Structure 1
Amino acid sequence: MFSEEESVLQSSLITREFPSFQQLNEISKYLRLKTNQERINELALINETGITEIMWRFIRFHLEEQGVIVDLKYCPGNDRLNEAFQHISEKITTRIKSKQTKLTLFQEWLREKEYCRRELVLKHFGESISEKNDHCCDICGVELEGYFATENSYKEYRFHSWQTELKSIFHI
């Protein structure tokens, strides 16, 4: 299910979702060349700075939230660009740490050899098992043969009107 060698790939996927600090600097330089009358050409910005569309949407959201960009126009008069990029850098650092923590928790769940996997997943969401199934998880001793259907296990299905189906569903 899990290979330690893959953890580098997983961490890389997390960090590559966000722009690097160098890319943030490139975007800052690009924006400083714009006037408040000139609309930002998003495609040109993406191509010139080497970021992805997803990265740009993340940055754009935060720049709009800070009032640095309004209607896709850079507002140089408010002089908050450095502050906005500092805020974005902090958001990126926080998000990466959060995602790495979640990845670590998931990897620990994968390595688990003692406790029921269903219990651990439910515990993560603040729930508990109300009734233990015979075929619970690989830790509790699931037998795959129990999951494979046999020809005798299929029931013949008869089509009914939608009214009859609803009565069946709602036990009316």
Structure 2
Amino acid sequence: MKITDQQLLDYIWDETLSAIVRNTFVRYMGNELGTYSLDVATSEPSGFAVLHRINLYAGAPLSQSRFRTRIKKLISQGDLSPRLGYDGRSFVINSIHLAPAVLKAVKLWQEAGLPFGYEGEGYIKSCKTIPAEGLDLFALSQGFYQILRKEYPSYM
């Protein structure tokens, strides 16, 4: 079965949305949670969407070697941007929806009650957090992923 570039990019976009949801909250020591400010999310949205090739093999519709070759091709075509070197191990999809999806995910975590920013004065500051107990992160993540998927069904 021939897998088109479009099908592969759709798979990568789907995984990107999942990564955005996972990467826009922070788990601190002591089972504490927080999220990012909108300023941080706006400054470098692609940092929340970096995918690593090895993590995508299991769901990819191609063999590992063929997937690696196709990723390199998509990078050379400009559909993907390499990260952490130019060998195609890590990359970000080039999408006009990337920044809005990251901002939406951060807003969703904030609306769910995750704090952001710092507390304290002078040199002694700590991140604002809440205890993770009582929050079903899996259910929240799945729900937020579905919201992003509905709002941004395609990377184009």
Quickly name the TM-score band, shorter chain normalised: 0.3 to 0.5
Structure number, greater radius of gyration: 1
TM-score by length of 1: 0.33
Identify, as 1 or 2, the structure richer in helix: 1
Q: Which structure carries more relative contact order (alpha carbon 8 Å, separation 6+)?
A: 2
Q: TM-score, normalised by structure 2?
A: 0.36
Higher strand share: 2
